[in-house]
Amino acid sequence: MELLGYYNYWVFAIVLMVGFYAVIVRNNLIKKLLGLAIFQSAVFLMYITMDKVEGATAPIIQEGVTDQIYSNPLPQVLILTAIVVGVSTTALGLAMVVRIKEAYGSIEEDDIIAKDRKS
């Protein structure tokens, strides 16, 4: 039970590295972007883990309740905006992949490199 307090961080570490593995090993560009999205989500998870306070509720102040403690709002604000920015940048990456597909006829990294070498 004592060690469960770290479980969120362990999941963060594993998911982060799973995403990183997809980015460095997989040849497919869309797979790389999926890996990047996983990587990003892992970072979100770490930030949100840090905002939790034992016995607290979401930081929405209830009127007339004085002894309630609230979780930390700051990491939530940072991550809330980061999620929206994340989807925009993922879309930008996908747009690039679409153009690469049109120019090279493939979204596999080794095909693209081979084609570049030939020309």
Partner 1 sequence: MIIIFAVFLLTLLVITAIAIVRAENLFVAVMLMAIFSLLMAANFFILDAADVALTEAAIGAGVTTVIFLGALSLTAENEKKVELSRGVAMSIVTATTLLLIYATFEKPKLGDPEAPVHQHVAPWYLSETPKLIDIPNVVTAVLGSFRAYDTLGEVFVVFTACIGVLFLLSAKNPADKQSRRTPPESIGLRHHLIPKVVGRLLFPFIVLFGLYVQFHGEYGPGGGFQAGAIIATGIILFALLEGEKTALAAVPHSVMMAMVAGGALLYTMVGVVTMFMGGNFLDYSVLSSNPVFGQQMGIILIEAGVGITVCGALLAIFHAFAARENY
Select 56 or 115, whichever has its Cβ closest to partner 1.
Answer: 56
| Contact string (CB under 8 A) for partner 1, positions 15-44, x = contact | xxxxxxxx-xxxxx-xx--xx-xx--x--x
Rounded distance between C-alpha atoms, residue 105 and residue 114, angstroms: 12
Q: Looking at 64, 66, 67, 84, which residue binds partner 1 (CB under 8 A)?
A: 84
Residues 50-79 interacting with partner 1 (rule: CB under 8 A): 50-63, 69-79
Rounded-to-integer distance, Cα 38 and Cα 48, Å: 15
Other C-beta atoms within 10 Å of 19: how many? 20
Residue 64 in tokens: 């007339």
Of the pair 73, 115, the CB lying nearest partner 1 is at: 73
For partner 1 (CB under 8 A), the number of binding residues is 87
The answer to whether 113 contacts partner 1 (rule: CB under 8 A) is no
